[in-house]
Structure 1
């Protein structure tokens, strides 16, 4: 439903990596509504640095109004999509010409920037007070957090427990082994093929038990396991039959939800067979911005999403990293120089049209 001046209405559900770039791109072309429970966008690949250096969040946590001042921000969650409107938990019904689902993963966190930075200050204080720290989860979040702690606080005893047979299982074995070797050189104890059985009863630290009957003594712990996709709400909407068995939205080559001509999906919630990386989610946004602009102007030819290079970089503290690029693994200061110093914060801020410093 176009506005009174003929401008198309675009509703973006989710203000994360993909949704933020799309809102910034379309705010001059359409009447944009961003539905997000948070007042801010967070550069997610900088979160582990913020835990050891909370001031880093001043640049990586960005209010939606900073990068998309022309967009309408609805601080709530979407609860329903019909053929004509999106309904939110706070009772708003927003009519649309185009909808873009960009909800990513379910991440219950602070609602305001100041609250989010407060959480990081609490995390840093927790790390400072502890002599020994348990990190649960050996994916990119757990590996990066263990590395950040051991580099910034080298006197701490860090133990990482991972239920899988190797670290960073979304990468190849060479990259996994390089990360493991680096952590061990930094005196991080790594327990693979183990799960912690008594996390709830050890919220304040103590002796943690594993499924392999091992004991880990730690003053505190951080849970770094994958979060579920934020798609369960779609099961009661017109998109209920567009979800695959993993809860992802099935999309066509133009990133439209299959079976719909004016509903798109971008980011981690899509069923595209590729690494779920932030730079690829931003590429999704670029394609959908062009396609919505084309459709709004009456053009029938749309751009297809062609994917990007298979690349992932996992930081190992402030100067080093492990990377996998087109199947080749490397570690050390070269991949670290690409990511680990600034964590791509300047680059992301520039993408959003903000001061990169």
Structure 2
């Protein structure tokens, strides 16, 4: 790949983390010195939470307007490996097509891999036809997936943890039922009716069973850097400067980093500034010093279009209810903000 400049700054992944870094770096990098290249498997970004209401026309947004003054480009491709030597700056990424793109700085932002409906594309028609939807996993993903359903459907969440009284009460209002301290190990194939839990309980009329278990880091390609690049769960090991331990010119952020915190979009408010500042320093020959020290835990989970709950880890932790959730998220899943961030 060629460009006017001799050196490339490459970002792998065009989700929330990747496109925000690309947007900020496009304002700071000199186009005469660096080509800013965002590599993504699609030509568009997806607001995954918003797809739970089938808003594909608004939640799928092209990655062509996010660069300041056009200072950057999006390349559609899948990175399968990284070529780099420990302690040696620079290297290259290799695409599934065999194309090789060199970099002066590489930023990894490939996020999570999901199963079930969160793995785009999903078959939305299955939800429309089903009479009894069983959702496996009662965390944030499982609760959000209830937005696919209507009051005319029977919905059961199978959750391995104990009862969470507040959420149970709120979802019961919408007709959602729960089975706590239960697990479903095998998701039935399409068309199979009925499913059994690990303990032997049988849900005979379940005609759609979907997985809402948490995602796993999308880092298979990082294994090319050696076994010490990832921890035992597939997360990228980083320094507080968000550089990889043995590769000073490679940075990582978002869901894929080995950091003890919940994997949430909100963390990017703290991740992105560290990455941008340190990348600019590195390119200018200055040792990166800005450190990531963690971020407060916070989450807003929707319950239909008008309700939900928010938790914020400030001041010892506090929660806010339906009105707040509606104001900031439930009414449109923040799609308007997402589109504005991408230049639309």
Question: Which TM bucket (shorter chain)?
Answer: 0.7 to 0.9
Of residues 269, 284, 287, the one that matches 2:256 is 269
- Out of 163, 171, 180, the residue aligned to residue 192 of structure 1 is 180
Within 5 Å, give how 1:1-357 maps onto structure 2. 5=5, 8-28=7-27, 29=29, 30-50=34-54, 56-68=55-67, 70-83=72-85, 84-107=91-114, 119=121, 122-123=123-124, 125-146=125-146, 148-150=147-149, 153-166=150-163, 176-197=164-185, 199-201=187-189, 203-216=190-203, 217-235=205-223, 237-300=224-287, 302-326=289-313, 327-352=317-342, 354-355=343-344
Q: Which structure is higher in helix share? A: 1
For the residue of structure 2 that corresponds to 1:65, the secondary structure is coil
8 Å contact from structure 2 (residues 310, 324) kept in 1: no
Paired residue secondary structure (2:21) = helix
- Give the Å deviation of 1:263: 0.8
| Residues 52, 148 of structure 2: 8 Å contact kept | no
Question: Which residue is equivalent to 2:88?
Answer: none
Q: How far did 1:136 drift?
A: 1.5
CA distance in 2, matches of 1:109, 1:37: 19
SS in 1 for 2:217: coil
Change (3 A) 1:25 1:283: same
Distance 1:282-1:107 versus aligned 2 partners, 3 A rule: farther
- Return the TM-score normalized by structure 1: 0.82
Shift of 1:195: 2.0
- Once the two structures are TM-superposed, the CA of residue 97 in structure 1 deviates from its matched residue by 0.3
Q: Residues 41 and 164 of structure 1: is their aligned pair in 2 closer, same or farther, counting only changes over 3 Å?
A: same
The 1:88/1:109 distance shift into structure 2, 3 A limit, reads: farther
The Cα shift of 1:42 comes to 0.8
| CA–CA separation in structure 1 for the residues paired with 2:106 and 2:139 | 32
The count of aligned residue pairs is 326
Once the two structures are superposed, what CA deviation does each residue of 1:213-260 show, in whole Å capped at 9, x if it has no partner? 22221232222112321123322x235312222221121121111122
8 Å CA contact 2:114–2:214 kept in 1: the answer is: no
CA contact (8 A) 1:48 1:144 kept: yes
Q: Secondary structure at the residue paired with 2:112? A: coil
**SS of the residue 1:245 aligns to:** coil
For 1:5 and 1:184, locate their aligned partners in 2 and report how far apart those are by CA, in whole Å. Answer: 59
